[in-house]
Amino acid sequence: MKRILFDRLDNSFNTTIVFISIALLFTSATFGERLGVYEVIIDKAFFIFQLMFFGKYFIYKRTVNWNKAGINIRLKWFKDAHIPFSNIAACTCNNKTLEIIKSNGKTYNFDLSDIHYRDKAKLIGIFQERLPNAQFHNI
């Protein structure tokens, strides 16, 4: 069974990493050469924080990222789908597939047949939490 990395984008760890990275970049860009040797340390720290944030997406093949606005599902290596929750017209989940229909008529089908049962339950839980009962159907 294949596992999925679930990453809530608006948690405190991700927010802290992003703000520290922005502060390091701003410090390096503003003070530049006046920092001397510390500029190199600040630049390397910036890249380490960026590697911590984005590196997990290169390590894990299957990821699901979400916040209050939308969800990004990647179950294959380079194919992903960014779907705002406000644009979802209907969502249907059976044992093997997850079908999401956007309000403009575009349909996304995700194969869940080889995904671990806990990860299926968590993915379904995200949609149940964010969508009204009229839009989500679990068969």
Q: What is the pLDDT of residue 78?
A: 72
pLDDT of the chain along its 139 residues, tens only?
889 989 888 888 888 988 999 999 898 888 877 888 888 888 899 999 899 888 888 888 899 999 999 999 998 777 788 999 999 999 998 878 889 999 998 999 988 888 999 999 999 899 888 888 767 777 7
Describe the crossing of helices 37-59 and 12-31 by its angle, rounded to 10 degrees. Answer: 150
Q: What is the pLDDT of residue 58?
A: 83
Assigned architecture for domain 63-138: Roll (2.30)
Q: What is the pLDDT of residue 11?
A: 85
Residues 45-52: contacts with CB under 8 Å, at least 24 apart: 46/21, 49/17, 49/20, 49/21, 49/24, 50/21, 52/17
Domain boundary assignment for the chain: 9-59, 63-138
